[in-house]
Structure 1
């Protein structure tokens, strides 16, 4: 089954007991806005998970603006909300799916595959006049045992090595190196503007695939065929390491890559904000 579900699919299964709906709405710069929106109205039965309090660890010197949460801490939080190893999770947000994709990736990182993203998010659901409520459900705690998948991650040392080897490679070099993908908007990748991090530019050797270009205007993901065309310049046999500003918007790009048939995809979780926290790391600007 696809990693995304339609509004009508969810409507037909809204009250199935094995399912947990998770509201992931969050606005950068307005950390309380997501929870406030949830408390005002949300999809019936939905619980709330906050990007910074639940789906990230506190930021430190390294690790980026949104470090990954400790697996045991996240597992305990999920269990408290009634999410168990047998649960089906449907996540949504109102930010083109980027926070929902963060939860989607994290659950798979914990070994839980039965997780999906609602196409279009909350506004699209409400626009269809589908039910909303301000009632917060009482959840019976469950048990969630994480089975961490470390192969889904790339650390800064690996990324540094790939960057150096990519820059040093020539046209005659073997093309077995992993591909570094920068998921941010072109202006940030090129170093023309930067409003979130202390340095502008990109990791040397990375190529730019803006995450929002994987979606249609209504916030739904493009079809598998369209995504195959979108990523046509990438070899499916090569490993791909995806990053963004802080490890969040890389996740919808990972979802899109997998939908297009790429299977060797990893996340550099600290991403650009982690990369620039090391003074020895080089910074590139421009188109390449």
Structure 2
């Protein structure tokens, strides 16, 4: 995503301070934070810093150079490699490694947690989805705009490594946020999908033109609608689009309704977590992330009921903000 650093340079100083014209700085609040329950901005975080736990999903080098006080590192590889996978015997989850990391960060299952990255992007929402899948009981929120906004607005930062904490994190897996391959297969046949299925990859991947990974087939789940994840993010500001824009994208143009079951997928469930998060904020009763995504579906066979479609201009592409 494009960096928001230059656009936010004018916000340096105390968080929430006004510029020379008496206007609030760009980093003070964000439209999504004002509307959505699980989105916060720098103003809110400054006022509630002592009441939440922080997880930083940036790379290790960036984390070492400077972090928000109290933040602990939550590495991408740990989220991606140790949580769950689709196997020949079905979906298997092992939360022990993540639970240990959360314990070392002093996090318990009922704590309120704020996740941040460099800006607002896919690893942040994947971390939030992961904690929800672990059955986290407290509120897990996104810092809209991430560390870039916080730092540019004059928020306090520290560089020394955080000390390991003593806590016990007990995961209680919540499968209601996860779509397994069998859940998807049960809702798809050769004629289409019985529930909305959202492909969060690029149109080229969706059509099978951009072939990624050592897979047997390329294209999209039959009946899926393509909605590239980048459309949900304002890349100039480095944060989520406004609720009004997201409503236009997801509810109007994609035609989704909060009373439907919806499934998001991509290549590895990471990009799809953006869609999962947005729909969750819109109050969808049942929204799921296909954990295996195309890296799993692309290895399967239509003979076993795992239908797919391939070819340029097949399916439906929603390109509101493409």
The TM-score, its normalising length taken from structure 1, stands at 0.82
Task: State the Cα deviation string for residues 195-241 of structure 1 (Å, max 9, x = none).
Answer: 45645321121101122212223132233333222122113332111
CA offset at residue 97 of structure 1?
Answer: 2.4
CA offset at residue 123 of structure 1?
Answer: 2.1
In the other structure, the counterpart of 2:220 is: 202
Task: State the Cα deviation string for residues 150-174 of structure 1 (Å, max 9, x = none).
Answer: 122221122123221xx425xxxxx
Contact 1:188/1:201 (8 A) holds in 2: yes
Using the alignment, how far apart are the partners of 1:195 and 1:128 within structure 2?
A: 39
Contact 1:44/1:135 (8 A) holds in 2: no
Structure having the higher strand fraction is 2
Contact 2:191/2:222 (8 A) holds in 1: no
Number of aligned residues: 267
Whether 2:294 is the aligned partner of 1:272: answer yes
The correspondence for 2:105, drawn from 73, 81, 90, is 81
SS at match of 1:277: coil
Whether 2:41 is the aligned partner of 1:6: answer yes
The correspondence for 2:57, drawn from 17, 24, 48, is 24
Task: State the Cα deviation string for residues 67-87 of structure 1 (Å, max 9, x = none).
Answer: 986223322221122111232
CA offset at residue 89 of structure 1?
Answer: 1.0
**Alpha-carbon spacing, 1:58–1:152, altered in 2? closer, same or farther (3 Å):** closer
**Alpha-carbon spacing, 1:188–1:214, altered in 2? closer, same or farther (3 Å):** same
Contact 1:189/1:202 (8 A) holds in 2: yes
Contact 1:56/1:69 (8 A) holds in 2: no
**Alpha-carbon spacing, 1:54–1:255, altered in 2? closer, same or farther (3 Å):** closer
Whether 2:243 is the aligned partner of 1:227: answer no
SS at match of 1:22: strand
Q: Cα RMSD (Å) of the superposition?
A: 2.6
In the other structure, the counterpart of 1:168 is: 191
CA offset at residue 11 of structure 1?
Answer: 2.1
Task: State the Cα deviation string for residues 117-168 of structure 1 (Å, max 9, x = none).
Answer: 111122232222322221112132112222221122221122123221xx42
Using the alignment, how far apart are the partners of 1:68 and 1:24 within structure 2?
A: 24
Contact 2:82/2:98 (8 A) holds in 1: no
Contact 1:57/1:68 (8 A) holds in 2: no
SS at match of 2:82: coil
The correspondence for 2:276, drawn from 233, 254, 260, is 254
SS at match of 1:226: helix
The correspondence for 1:56, drawn from 65, 81, 91, is 81
In the other structure, the counterpart of 1:92 is: 116
Task: State the Cα deviation string for residues 47-70 of structure 1 (Å, max 9, x = none).
Answer: 10111124532898859xxx9862
Using the alignment, how far apart are the partners of 1:268 and 1:282 within structure 2?
A: 15
Higher Cα Rg, which structure: 2
The correspondence for 2:263, drawn from 241, 244, 253, is 241
Contact 1:83/1:144 (8 A) holds in 2: yes
Task: State the Cα deviation string for residues 76-107 of structure 1 (Å, max 9, x = none).
Answer: 22112211123221111126321111111111
SS at match of 1:56: helix
Using the alignment, how far apart are the partners of 1:94 and 1:192 within structure 2?
A: 31
Structure 2 unaligned blocks of 5 or more:
1-35, 316-322
Contact 1:186/1:208 (8 A) holds in 2: yes
